[in-house]
A and B are shown apart, each in its own frame.
Chain A
Amino acid sequence: MDPMSLLANLIAATFRVTTPILLAAIGETYSERAGVLNLGIEGTMFFGALIGFFVADRSGSLWIGLLAAILGGILAGLLMALLTVTLGVNQHVSGLSITLLLTGLSLFAFRLNYGNLPVPPKVEVFPPVTIFKDIPFLGVISEQVLLTYITFLVVIPVAWFLLYRTYFGLMIRSVGENPEAADAAGINVYVIRYAALSIGGALMAVGGAVLSLAIAGSFTDQIISGRGWVAIAIVIFGNWNPVRVMWGALIFGGTFALQLMLQAMGLKLPIPYETFLAMPYVVTIIALVIAGRNASYPAALLKPYRRE
C-alpha cells in the first residue's frame, strides 16, 4: 500500500477505536465534574456492551439495542448515586463493587441466554456512512459509523457547551467544587449529582455498546478489557475539559491504531508491542506528576456531601 492510503487508513482506524473510549471518558467527565469518581466505568461499559448486543439480537434492531444500553447505563449511574450520594459510601469501593456486580451480571445473563458457545453469536454491525465518497484521501477517513460522527460532532460540543455555557453545567461544576456553597446558593446537591451520574452512566454504556454493535458485532468476556481504566486516565489527562479529553482520547486511539496496524503488517519491532499499549498509562502518570498540584481536580472529588 502507498503511504498516503496507509495514513488514511490509520486516521480512519484512529477515529473508530477512539469512539467507545471517548464516549466513556465524557461520561466520566460529567461524573467527576459533579464530584464523584466513578470506578464503575469498566463494569458499566461491559454492561452496555451486553445489553446492547442482547436487545439488538432479540429485537433485530441495533437502535433498540443502543436505546436499551442507554437505559442500562442510567440505571448503573443511579446505583452509583444511591451508594455514594445518598448513603455516602467510599467512592472507590462503591465503584469497584459496581464493576464487579455488572461484570458478573452481564456474564451471567449471557451464559443463561446463549450457553457456552465456542464461537460467539453475531449481529450485523452498524453500516458505515461515507460523506466524501469519491474524494481519495477523505473518502477513506470519512467512512465511519453514524455513532462516531455523533460522538465527535454532537456529544463533545454539547458536553462543552453544557458544562461551560449553561446554568445546568454551572450547577454540576459547583457541586463538584464546593457543595456547601452550592447548597447555600439554593442548588440541590443530591439531585445534580444524581443527574450527572445518570448522564455519565448512559455515555459509558453507549461506549460499551459501540464496541459490541459497531465494531465487534458480538459480545465476549474480553470486549472491554481495561478500556474503562484508560478512559479514567484520559479524563485526568484532559483536565476534566471535554475538548481536551477528546484530544487525549485521540492520542490514545492513534497509538492503539498504529500498534494494530504494525501488528497486522507483521512488522517485527525492536520493542514489544505492549510498549505502545502501556504508553497512555505512563504518559498520564507523568502528566499527573508534571501538573502536580496544578492538576485542577474538582475540589470536592471523592468527598461525600452531608447536609447537616
Chain B
Amino acid sequence: MAAKKFTWRLVRTDTPAWWMTPLIPLLALIGTFILTAGLILWSKANPFEAYYYLLIDPLTSRSMVLEMLVSATPLLFTGIAVTVAFTTGYFNIGAEGQLYAGAVAAAGLGMVLGGLPPVLALPIMILGGFAAGMLWALIPALLRVKWGVDEVVTTLLSNSIMAYIVSAILNGPWRNPISGWPQSPDIAASAQFFKLIQRSRLHVGFILALATLVALWFLLTRTSFGMKMRAVGMGKLAARFAGINVDRTVLTAALISGGIAGIAGVSEVAGMQYHLIGALSPGYGYTGIIVATLGSLNAWGVGFAALFFGLVNIGAQNVSGALRVPIFLSNIIQATMLMVALGMFLLKRYRIRRS
C-alpha cells in the first residue's frame, strides 16, 4: 500500500492555538537576541554574557530590582494611559505632552502646599496632575469629536507645544533664582512622595501605578463603560448601531488617558526630582505606546511589558558598567523586541494544518 502523502499548510484562523500566547514573548526574545547580538559583538563583548548582565544579573541584586521598579513606574502610567485611548480607537500619541502638563501642575502645586499635611497635599497633587493632563488632552479630543480633526497629528504636535511651554516657564518665572538653571524651585517636603523602602529610590508612585493597573483591568473587563470602549475601538459604525454614544465614549477615554499620563508627570516630580526640569522624561510618553502595544492593550500584559522595560533599562546600565557596551542598547532592544513581537502577533492568525 502506498504511503499516504500529507501536505502541511498554513491556514488562517480566528481561534489561535492556546500555546501561541506564551510562545510569542519567548520567540520575540530569541529573535531580539539574534538581531542585537551583532551590535554587542561590535562593542567587543560576548552576547551571551551581555544578556546575562542585561536580564538575569539585575534580578539577583536587591538594589537593582528596586531600581527596576523605579524605572518601570512612569512606563506603567504612560502604558496604561495609552491602553485606555488605543482600546477606544483613539490614537493618543500625546502622552508625552500630557505627562509634562501633569508635571507642571505638580511642581506648581508642590511649591504652595507647604502648609498642608501630606495626607492632604499628596491627593491634591495627584488630582491636580490628573486634571492638568486631562485639560491638555481635551483640545485634541474635542477637535476630533466635534470636527473630525485627526488626533494622531494634533496630539503629536501638542507634545512639542508643551515642550516649549515648559521651556518658557523654566526660563521665565520658574528659573531657579539661586543657580540660574532652567529648573523650578523644589516642592515642599510635605508634597514629596515618601519612599517605600529606606535607602532606595522606590517611592509611593509605584504603588499608585499598580493601583492604576488594577483599575485598568477592572475598567476594561468588569464595567459597561469598558465594554463600550472596546466596542467603539473595534468599529465605530457597529458601536453606533448598538446604541453606544460613540463621541462621548471617545471623549471620556481620551480624557482619562490624558489624566493618567498627567499622573506619570506628578510621580516623576513628586517622587524623583522634587522639581520640574526640561529633561524630566526621556520619552516615557512614546515608550508608553510601545509598552501598551507589546502588552496587547491588556492590563496584565501592559504590567509585564513595563516591568520588562524597567529591567532592560537597569540591565543596560549594568551591561554598560560591566562590559562597556553603550547604554543605548536598551532603546535598541526595546524597539527591536516590539518589531519582532508585532511580526509574531501575525503568527497567531495562522494554524498549521495537515491536509
| Contact yes or no, B42 A100, CB < 8 A | no
Check B164–A274 contact: CB distance below 8 A: yes
Give A297 to B143 CA distance when docked, in angstroms.
16
**Which residues of B does A touch, CB under 8 Å?**
39, 42-43, 91, 93, 143, 147-150, 152-154, 156-161, 163-165, 167-168, 171-172, 283, 286-287, 289-290, 293, 326-332, 334-336, 338-339, 342-343, 346
A101 touches B160 (CB 8 A): no
- Between A and B, 29 residue pairs with Cβ closer than 8 Å are A39-B93, A83-B339, A89-B342, A92-B91, A92-B152, A94-B342, A96-B93, A96-B289, A97-B335, A97-B339, A100-B283, A100-B290, A104-B328, A104-B331, A107-B328, A108-B329, A112-B43, A226-B163, A229-B156, A229-B160, A233-B153, A272-B171, A275-B168, A278-B161, A284-B153, A285-B154, A288-B143, A288-B153, A293-B147
Inter-chain contacts of B154 with A (CB < 8 A) = 285, 288
Q: Main SS of chain B's interface residues?
A: helix
Determine the residue in chain A with the shortest Cβ distance to B167: A274
A232-B156, A289-B149 known; A101 vs B335 contact (CB < 8 Å): yes
Tell me the smallest distance from the CB of A205 to a CB of chain B, in Å. 17
Q: Which residues of B contact A302 (CB under 8 A)?
A: 152
Main secondary structure of the interface of A (DSSP, over half): helix
Most interface-central of A100, A284, A285 (chain B CB within 10 A): A100
Q: Residue A96 contacts which of B168, B286, B329, B336 (CB distance < 8 angstroms)?
A: B286
Residues on B with C-beta less than 8 A from A274 are: 164-165, 167-168, 171
CB of A267 to closest CB in B, whole Å:
15
Q: A97-B338, A108-B39 are in contact. List 11 more A-B contacts (CB 8 A).
A: A88-B346, A93-B338, A96-B290, A97-B342, A100-B334, A101-B332, A230-B160, A284-B153, A285-B143, A288-B150, A293-B148
Query: Could you say which residues of chain B place their CB within 8 Å of the CB of A232?
Result: 153, 156-157
What's the Cα separation between A233 and B149 when bound, in Å?
13
Q: How far is the CB of B12 from chain A (nearest CB, A)?
A: 10
A263 to chain B, nearest CB (A): 11
Residues of A participating in the B interface, judged by any CB pair closer than 8 Å: 37, 39, 83, 87-90, 92-94, 96-101, 103-105, 107-108, 111-112, 226, 229-230, 232-233, 236, 272, 274-275, 277-278, 281-282, 284-285, 288-289, 292-293, 297, 302
Closest Cβ–Cβ distance, residue A260 to chain B (whole Å): 15
CB distance from A67 to the nearest CB of B (A): 22
Give Cα A105 to B335, complex, Å: 10
- In Å, the complex CA distance between A308 and B127 comes to 49
Q: Which of B39, B150, B159, B331 is the most central at the interface, judged by chain A CB atoms within 10 Å of its CB? A: B331
Question: Across the interface, do A93 and B342 meet the contact criterion of CB distance under 8 Å?
Answer: yes
Is A104 in contact with B150, judged by CB distance below 8 angstroms?
Answer: no
| Residues in chain A near residue B289, CB distance under 8 A | 92-93, 96
